[in-house]
Every structure is written in structure tokens, then in C-alpha cells.
Amino acid sequence: MAVVNPRTQEAFNAHWGRILSNADITALAILVEEVPVGHISCFKMEGLDSVGYWIAREHWGRGIATRALTLLLQLMPIRPLHAHAASTNLGSIRVLRNCGFRITGHQLSPATDRFPECEEAILVLTPTRPDGDEAAQGAASPTHAVQFPPAHVQPWPAASSTKD
């Protein structure tokens, strides 16, 4: 798990206000049986189309992030798609690899007001070749089919109780 300094409520509201008013960002709520349990988004980072997600801690380890990312990838066919995860964030790297992302390198990420300096894995999801031979491209094949039918994603509601 990566170390993150939580935002204050005021900073959280301002952050999400900016995200939700930015037409270039797709931000989706993750619902399990209509209960919001996290969020997932697609945004530009350093000019590259990227994904990020967050699941409330009490819902970890139930396949929800994997299911949500699988759904997002179906909704958003844009490729290549990029992601960064702290090298120590093995759960997130696993989610990405299970969804076909592959690690292309590592970099040192400088400390910010939210994160200490850390090494990050850089991952990318490339287009599937017409013959569907992802293994030949070095991409990890999903290790399991989607097994969490109650989870789905929808546009994030204006008022939210899940903080990041």
C-alpha cells in the first residue's frame, strides 16, 4: 500500500469540484449493489491518457477494482492507456496486470504534499492485435474472468461520502 496524506474535507471538495467540472476527465463512481465504494477515472497525465482508481478500504480484496477497471476498459476503448503505481502497491499493480497492462519501466516520483518520494512502476495497455495474440506483445492475459456482477460504474454523484 502506498503512503498518502489524506486531504482535508475542504481540499477534497475543491479537488473533486475541479475534476467534475473538467470535461476532459471521465470520473465514474463504483457502486456495489447501489452503494458507492470508490471511484475510477480516465484523465491526461503528462499528455498521456491514464487511469486511476480508489476503493474504500473496507471493500478491498473483493475483486472490485479489477471489475471496475474491466468495465472502464470496455466503456473507453482509447489505447494506449497508461497508469502509474507505487512499486510497493502490489495490489494495484496486480489489478492493472490482471486487466492486461504491462510494466514498461520504473521511475522515482518526487515527494509532494500528498505522497512521499517513492519508486513508481509505469504501466501501459496497448491495443490488442487483430489476431488477438496479446501474449506475443508481452501483455499479461487476464487471470480470471469478471466474477463480480453486482459491481458497476456510473457517473460520480455530486455529493460523495468516499474520500481520497
Positions that interact with ligand COA (CB under 6 A)? 2, 52-55, 60-66, 85, 89-92, 94-95, 98, 143
Q: How far is the CB of 58 from ligand COA (least distance, A)?
A: 10
Nearer to ligand COA, 87 or 126 (CB): 87
Nearer to ligand COA, 17 or 61 (CB): 61
Cell of 149: 456482477
CA distance 108 to 86: 9
CA distance 136 to 133: 6
Nearer to ligand COA, 35 or 129 (CB): 35
Q: How far is the CB of 123 from ligand COA (least distance, A)?
A: 9
Q: What is the DSSP annotation of 98-144?
A: HTT-EEEEEEEEPP-SSS-SEEEEEEEEPPPPTT---GGGTPPPPSS
Q: How far is the CB of 93 from ligand COA (least distance, A)?
A: 8
